[in-house]
Structure 1
Amino acid sequence: MSATVSFEVPTPSGPRPMTVSYTRAGDGESLLLLHGIGHHRQAWDPVIPVLAKERDVIAVDLPGFGESPALPDGLAHDLPTMTAVLTALCAALGLQRPHVAGNSLGGLLALELGRAGAVRSVTALSPAGFWSEAERRYAFGVLSAMRGIARRTPPSVVERLAPSAAGRTLLTSTIYARPARRPAAAVVAETRALAQAPGFTETLRSGRSVRWTEDVPGLPVTVAWGSRDRLLVPRQGVRAKTVIPRARLVRLPGCGHVPMNDDPALVARVLLDGSRQEPAGAGRPDA
């Protein structure tokens, strides 16, 4: 069930109040799940039942997405601010260095939490930030077009399209390799979430200068990429392995940019394996 948590975030101008929506399920070591830009926490629904058998799973709506309100006025949707928000969120929920997994924007944020030493392990699914400038412009153009279409399409049209496999393909084939597998209700909800997200424009704008160039030493890192990712192309995974040489690089055959829907069993296994690794440098060979 959905819940909210309120907390304060330290800023240069003093503490600012924040509220974040989330769901929590399962028992075991804590695993924080972070979605991509324009999406919401329900992106993780296909894998949560498996993860919850072994983990205390917390899926959050990032500020300005899903049911979480945007950041307070004056706070930027950039990496330093979001790292502070997520660190404060973990403290408010009683999470002491949880494992973290993220997709796209969420993968970038997961890596940033790892670099800050705030988590025990990082699993990043098609993380943002390993692009060339041309690839970034392409991805941002596609995302802007998706947002524009979602905002211009009347909800009644989305509801008529979603029940058919062809309609779900039309609406979501950019992010899913197997869009027909996505439930109609989920497609309607995520199209609405993309159209209504108050944090979308500011988050996309802040990403123009982002490029990940630093290692994440001292903790297990898994980077996984769908072989059919049409938004952030798979060769970016090779760059990620070059930048983070001790990372475990995993190929997700037949999966698109949001692989949790395309192959839930495989993605759940990758996430669980990622949170079982030994710390980087402990002698475990790369996979």
Structure 2
Amino acid sequence: MPIEAKVFTENEELPALVLVHGLGSAGSIWKSLLPQLKKHFTVYALDLPGHGEADLASDEQLDPKSLARSIVSTMRTEHNVSQMHVAGNSLGGWIALEMGAVAPKNVSSVTALAPAGLWHQVPTSKFPPSLFARILAKISQYFMRIAYRIPVLKALGYKKITHLWRELSFESCRDSVIAMANSKGYMPTWRGLLGKKFDSQIDDSVDVSIVFGDYDLTLPENIAQKREVAPEHAEWIVVENCAHVIMWNYPDLTVDLIKRTARIA
């Protein structure tokens, strides 16, 4: 399965941290965290199949559990990493949880940031909720700087993702627009998760944190935050005044949460 990784570290002896992005995103979404994370980890920022710089193969299984297995395999065979911490956002958070379930001997900790998959009812719609954002990204990629400077256009793209849309940097907006507009794996990956939910068991040897913002409009509490399906030993954390992409709103806190889950001072 074509999975690409960019590696960031100050010391290759530091423990491995795998970062998994969400649907229509790319490894670039973690950019604001890298200066801090690479002081404590050897960071592998992944591009999932058909996202970022990763190709899309026509015969691959793109459901979260299959992606989890492929990431663990890729880390072993291509990067010689058999022990890792994992953090993921949205769909990436779901995949991170599945990695903890399928490979407890390889995954030491999971930080699931606003993970998908904890549905009250599994998604069955042919089209993802973020389809409008994808259409908008395809259009606005040609005049991003202008769109960023016009509040009504910026709000159109980001108000449903975060109530703190006014604070988003141009770099964050640019990276997310490019990733969404050019994601060949967007619809195939969505089809791969249709009718599915996270219901796997994670061994209690794997430390798990599940983190949601209290103002998540993408995966709201009454639709997609079913605590009963979370691992019993997981720490469930709610961040105040925070939306779906937690690392956009609170990068320092996100780094601290990943370090705390990984038991790194």
Deviation at 1:59, TM superposition (A): 1.0
The residue matched to 2:43 in structure 1 has which SS? strand
The question of whether the paired residues in 1 share the 8 Å contact of 2:111 and 2:211 is answered with: yes
Structure 1, 179-188 or 33-42: larger mean CA deviation:
179-188
Taking the aligned partners of 2:221 and 2:65, their CA distance within structure 1 comes to: 27
Taking the aligned partners of 2:71 and 2:257, their CA distance within structure 1 comes to: 23
Match of 2:108 among 120, 131, 134: 120
Structure 1, 57-66 or 240-249: larger mean CA deviation:
240-249
> Which residue in the other structure is 2:120 paired with?
132
Deviation at 1:182, TM superposition (A): 2.3
Deviation at 1:66, TM superposition (A): 1.0
> Which residue in the other structure is 2:93 paired with?
107
- Structure 1 276/195 Cα, relative in aligned 2: closer, same or farther at 3 Å? same
Q: Percent same amino acid at aligned positions?
A: 24
Taking the aligned partners of 1:252 and 1:239, their CA distance within structure 2 comes to: 17
Kindly provide the amino acid, as one letter, of the partner of residue 233 in structure 1.
P
Kindly provide the amino acid, as one letter, of the partner of residue 129 in structure 2.
V
The residue matched to 2:238 in structure 1 has which SS? strand
* Equivalence map 1:42-61=2 (5 Å): 42-61=28-47
Kindly provide the amino acid, as one letter, of the partner of residue 54 in structure 2.
S
| Structure 1 segments (4+ residues) deviating >6 Å | none
The residue matched to 2:242 in structure 1 has which SS? coil
The question of whether the paired residues in 1 share the 8 Å contact of 2:65 and 2:99 is answered with: no
* TM-score, reference length from structure 2: 0.88
Kindly provide the amino acid, as one letter, of the partner of residue 66 in structure 2.
T
Deviations 1:216-241 (A, max 9, x none): 12311100001111010135675235
Q: Does 2:195 match 1:209?
A: yes
- Structure 1 100/233 Cα, relative in aligned 2: closer, same or farther at 3 Å? same
Match of 1:260 among 247, 252, 255: 247
Deviation at 1:100, TM superposition (A): 0.3
* Equivalence map 1:142-221=2 (5 Å): 142-151=129-138, 153-164=139-150, 167-218=153-204, 219-221=206-208
The question of whether the paired residues in 2 share the 8 Å contact of 1:226 and 1:257 is answered with: yes
Taking the aligned partners of 2:29 and 2:129, their CA distance within structure 1 comes to: 19
Deviation at 1:194, TM superposition (A): 0.6
The residue matched to 1:249 in structure 2 has which SS? strand
> Which residue in the other structure is 2:52 paired with?
66
Give 5+ residue unaligned stretches, structure 2. none
The residue matched to 2:23 in structure 1 has which SS? coil
The question of whether the paired residues in 2 share the 8 Å contact of 1:165 and 1:179 is answered with: no
Taking the aligned partners of 1:26 and 1:33, their CA distance within structure 2 comes to: 17
- Structure 1 139/122 Cα, relative in aligned 2: closer, same or farther at 3 Å? farther
The question of whether the paired residues in 1 share the 8 Å contact of 2:119 and 2:225 is answered with: no
> Which residue in the other structure is 1:245 paired with?
232
* TM-score, reference length from structure 1: 0.81
Taking the aligned partners of 1:84 and 1:172, their CA distance within structure 2 comes to: 32
Deviations 1:176-225 (A, max 9, x none): 33223322133123112111101000111111121112331231110000
Q: RMSD over aligned Cα, in angstroms?
A: 2.3
Kindly provide the amino acid, as one letter, of the partner of residue 98 in structure 1.
M
- Structure 1 30/47 Cα, relative in aligned 2: closer, same or farther at 3 Å? same
Aligned pairs, number: 258
Taking the aligned partners of 2:241 and 2:185, their CA distance within structure 1 comes to: 30
Taking the aligned partners of 1:249 and 1:50, their CA distance within structure 2 comes to: 24
Taking the aligned partners of 1:273 and 1:237, their CA distance within structure 2 comes to: 24
> Which residue in the other structure is 1:4 paired with?
none
Deviations 1:44-75 (A, max 9, x none): 112222222222221111111111111x2211
The question of whether the paired residues in 2 share the 8 Å contact of 1:177 and 1:262 is answered with: no
Give 5+ residue unaligned stretches, structure 1. 1-8, 10-17, 278-287
